[in-house]
């Protein structure tokens, strides 16, 4: 089980946003963050807890290990207002579990 | 570049079997370390992983849906097919397929656009 907080985060453009994800059991660094805008598929932002995916701006950063993870958006741009989901990969047996998401709104 | 596209019925009746196809482009599911997963998202709800098939034909299913799902691949057609039996209105969702690879630790790095399936009589 992946628990994200807060459910909704209200932030002004240019401000910093901090999103949290907690796993019910340790997942090492097998965690990813996705961004999803209305009507679109999710986009991979961060994998391995802290590695930015190809083409992701460096204002997005991930950290954490074990059960506590954080996504920071250092200076919110207009295009960053979206839903953010964390997802853990459990190696054995292989399973993938998504969090409920944090909506970042203006 | 890597792209995936889902196709299948938009409306299915309860108790019927749903068959969805994911057509792959820009990569081969016969390449070592590659996998394709299916994920769904009911309207306004969270993403839910359904199944994964690996290049070596290994398959993994969500424990909660395992008895209803079958995932297969046809590398000659560059397609992955997901079947779900005995559908119910709670299966109404947008269904996505996604590329995965060993180099990205089997996270979902490329996604299809999704296809909305409604289960209703």
Mean pLDDT, chain A, rounded, equals 95
Q: Percent of chain A at pLDDT above 70?
A: 100
Q: Which residue of B has its CA nearest to A53?
A: B109
- What's the average model confidence in pLDDT over A12-41? 95
Q: Determine the longest span between alpha carbons in chain A, in angstroms.
A: 42
Residue A93: per-residue pLDDT: 84
Per-residue pLDDT of chain B (121 residues; tens, 9 = 90+): 999 999 999 999 999 999 999 999 999 999 999 999 999 999 999 999 999 999 999 999 999 999 999 999 999 999 999 999 999 999 999 999 999 998 888 899 999 999 999 999 9
State whether residue A98 sits within 8 Å of chain B by CB: yes
Residues of A in contact with B104 (CB under 8 A): 44, 47, 53
Residues of A in contact with B49 (CB under 8 A): 95-98
Q: Predicted confidence band at A39 (pLDDT cuts at 50, 70, 90)?
A: very high
Within chain B, strands assigned E span 3-7, 11-12, 18-25, 34-41, 48-54, 59-61, 69-74, 79-84, 93-101, 110-111, 115-119
How many residues in total does chain A contain?
106
- What's the average model confidence in pLDDT over A15-37? 95
- What's the average model confidence in pLDDT over A39-47? 97
Q: What is the CA radius of gyration of chain A?
A: 13
Residue A90: per-residue pLDDT: 87
């Amino acid at each position: 089980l992946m628990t994200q907080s807060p459910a909704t985060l209200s932030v002004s453009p240019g401000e910093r946003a901090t999103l949290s994800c907690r796993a019910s059991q340790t997942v090492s660094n097998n965690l990813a963050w996705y961004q999803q805008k209305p009507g679109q598929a999710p986009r991979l932002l961060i994998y391995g807890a802290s590695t930015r995916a190809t083409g992701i701006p460096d204002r997005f950063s991930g950290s954490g290990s074990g059960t506590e993870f954080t996504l920071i958006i250092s200076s919110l741009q207009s295009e960053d207002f979206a839903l953010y989901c964390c997802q853990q990969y459990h190696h054995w047996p292989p399973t993938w579990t998504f969090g409920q998401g944090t909506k970042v709104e203006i | 570049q890597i792209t995936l596209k889902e196709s299948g019925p938009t409306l299915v009746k309860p108790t019927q079997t749903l068959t969805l196809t994911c057509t792959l482009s820009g990569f081969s599911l016969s390449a070592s370390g590659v996998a394709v997963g299916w994920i769904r998202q009911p309207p306004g709800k969270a993403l839910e992983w359904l199944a994964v098939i690996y290049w070596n034909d290994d398959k993994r299913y969500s424990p909660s849906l395992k008895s209803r799902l079958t995932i297969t691949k046809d590398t000659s057609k560059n397609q992955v097919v997901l079947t779900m039996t005995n559908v119910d209105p709670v299966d109404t969702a947008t269904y996505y397929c996604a590329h995965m690879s060993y180099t990205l630790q089997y996270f979902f790095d490329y996604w299809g656009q999704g296809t909305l399936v409604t289960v209703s009589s």
